[in-house]
Structure 1
Amino acid sequence: MSSRGDAARHRGEPRRDALLLARFGSGDGALVLVAVASGARAVPDGHRAARDACEWIGGAIGRSQERLAEDIRAGHRGALESGLHRLTDRSYGRLRARAHELGRHPDEYSAALRCLLLPADPSCGTRVFFGVGDGGLFRLRDGVWRDLEHTGPGTGSGTGPGGDRVTVDLGIVAPGPAPAEPFRFRVCSARPGDALLLCGTGLAEPLRGEPAFGEPAFGERLAGRWARTAAGAGRAPEPPGLAAFLSDVRLPARGHAADRTACVVWEA
């Protein structure tokens, strides 16, 4: 879900966040892409840049779907990292080209981008994350959050080992330097009962923040809602219903009034 923040509503501004959920391919070889983008703050076209970022990375993934799905199933981490890095750079190249068309500085037509690739094959528990700029990827396991971007191995930039095949995309590349922000990449394995949260800046910031004004930490409150166990001993937590999920993502957090955009994968 993606919701306009209180600050934007107060100022009469559009939602700067964009969310894309797409499925490419069919059968067990299909891939599901979740893309979350947050437009640059205090610029008039931030919301359009976020939509363009989601659209262009979606097109790039769609054109490379078969090879990406094969690399995920085969565990070709180096190929995935280098290939997704290229696709991301090309999408940012298109953003820079659009900024030039509009007569804007590239920083005035850009967006933070967070993506998650999920194979449709139920026997493959590999989850692939990549992106540039602010936002977050968090895992809720046994009632405890872990920030998968800022802890442990798996976050990095650059290309993989030279011996791996490279996932390629045949889109047109706009000239210019790569994004100033580092490319982030991580491969993780799903475990039954996990909840994997991909979110924009407006939700990542309160999740990483300290308790404020005497309130429990935002992450503790959200974990308390999503870690409730189903009736019966030994059963894994169940996802909330749609209405409860929308309410949970919009839990108030003092000092945080930005857009809220989130997609959660609950592992069966």
Structure 2
Amino acid sequence: MSPVAAEPVDAHLRGVPAHIGGRPPSYPPHPLGCPSVRDGDEFAAFTPAVLLDGAQVGRLTVRGVSLRGDSHNWEGGCRQDAMTVTRIGPPEAELLLLAIADGVGSARYSHIGSYRVTRQAAVRLDREAESMYAALIAQDEGELRAIANKAIAGAISDLRIDQDYSTTLHVLLVPTDARIRERVLFGVGDGGLFVLREGRWEEGSPVGDGNFLDTRTEALPHAYRSVKAKLLRTEPEEVLLLGTDGITNPLTQKDPEFAQHLAHAWAGPEAPSLSDFLWQAQTRAKSYDDDRTVICVWEGAQ
């Protein structure tokens, strides 16, 4: 029997993340320095450069990653983005909750604010889950907006954060009951939702606005009364993408290559593995060096 040839040591190595454009970004594609405990900010020192998560909830498959941006990698700074993937509500009114936050760069403790607000918003929304579920079934955008405002205001009150903790926040709620096709999206600040339909990314829109990507510098805690909400309907073959501006900005650049690259990678119907999703989400584009958080949802056929 002939011996089996050994595979090259690097046969399964992906190498550096892909880049879009003729030249790669100037920053190296890997972390360099990192915060120190001696800097006096233990939260920053213990925040990992990459947070990776995923879940299978019925026919829903979730993949999420929060990455330290190239500029923070170069400077050895802390990741200011945060995300939460969880379920809320009782079994008869259960919702998949996906939350992202992008700490405002000029705020000293924005990394703490983004981390805390995604979690406390989930706690507050869990208390309102049955009301939110009923409003989804009734397709009552006004009630959904009122519940969202109440929950965010409550979360800010619980946390007692000030402007040093400024952050954006976006939350997507998806019923785990496949018979309910409505979803609700709400948030404050830039970033937001895209839907992959027939190979193309389409932006969601907030109530009373024509463009989901708000260019104003709205952020929590001061903008807790400015929560935008949107009721939307999706189908199983569509992929939902919730992201901070580290990914939504390159998705909307004039050159469509970045958007096409991710559309090809995530068009489904199968969700990628966690490691594949991480590698794909790291796709680089020159001049886009901010932290990047992206959560995608795939839905299997009935």
Question: Where does residue 247 of structure 1 map in the other structure?
Answer: 279
1:217 aligns with 2:257: yes
Q: SS where residue 203 of structure 1 aligns? A: helix
Match of 2:122 in 1: 58
Give the secondary-structure state (helix, strand or coil) at the position aligned to 1:98. coil
Equivalent residues of 1:118, 1:128 under 8 A apart: yes
Gaps of 5+ in 2: 1-64, 210-220
Distance in structure 2 (CA, Å) of the matches to 1:9 and 1:178: 29
Return 5+ residue gaps in structure 1 as ranges: 100-105, 158-176, 229-236
Q: Aligned partners of 2:152 and 2:69: how far apart in 1? A: 27
Local SS of the residue matching 2:171: strand
1:178 shift after superposition: 5.3
3-state SS of 1:40 partner: coil
Match of 1:260 in 2: 292
Q: State the alpha-carbon separation in 2 of the partners of residues 4 and 181 from structure 1.
A: 29
- 1:34-69 Cα shifts (integer Å, max 9, x gaps): 110111113331100101211221111011112212
Displacement after TM superposition at 1:27 (Å): 2.5
- TM-score scaled by structure 1? 0.77
Given that 1:198 and 1:264 are in contact with CA atoms closer than 8 Å, whether structure 2 keeps it comes out as yes
2:182 corresponds to which residue?
126
Q: Which residues of 2 match residues 64-143 of structure 1 at below 5 A?
A: 64-94=128-158, 97-99=160-162, 106=163, 108-143=164-199
- Structure 1 stretch displaced more, 116-125 or 85-94: 85-94
* 1:226 alignment partner in structure 2: 266
1:243 maps to amino acid: S
Match of 1:169 in 2: none
Measured in 2, the distance between the counterparts of 1:183 and 1:98 equals 17
Q: Please say which structure displays the higher CA radius of gyration.
A: 2
Distance 1:204 1:190 in 2: 19
Cα distance in 2 between the residues matched to 1:75 and 1:180:
23
Shift of 1:155: 2.7
Give TM-score, length-normalised by structure 2.
Answer: 0.69
C-alpha contact 2:82 2:102 (8 A) present in aligned 1: yes
SS at match of 1:261: strand
Per-residue deviation, 1:86: 2.3
- Deviation track 1:190-232 (CA, whole Å, cap 9, x = no partner) reads 1121001001121111111122xxxx5311111122226xxxx
Instruction: Give me the CA root mean square deviation.
Output: 2.1
Q: Deviations over 1:7-28 (max 9, x none)?
A: 1111111110111112123424
Task: Give the whole-Å Cα distance in 2 for the aligned partners of 1:195 and 1:57.
Answer: 24
Residues 181 and 252 (structure 1), Cα distance of their counterparts in 2 relative to 1, 3 Å cut: farther
Q: Tell me if the contact between 1:114 and 1:132 (Cα under 8 Å) persists in the aligned partners.
A: yes
CA distance in 2, matches of 1:57, 1:141: 29
Structure 2 distance, partners of 1:91, 1:155, is 22
Matched residues in 2 for 1:93 and 1:205: separation?
31
Question: Whole-Å Cα distance in 1 between the matches of residues 125 and 179 of structure 2?
Answer: 22
Q: Which residue type is aligned with residue 68 of structure 2?
A: R
Q: Which residue of 1 aligns with 2:74?
A: 10
2:207 to 144, 155, 164: 155
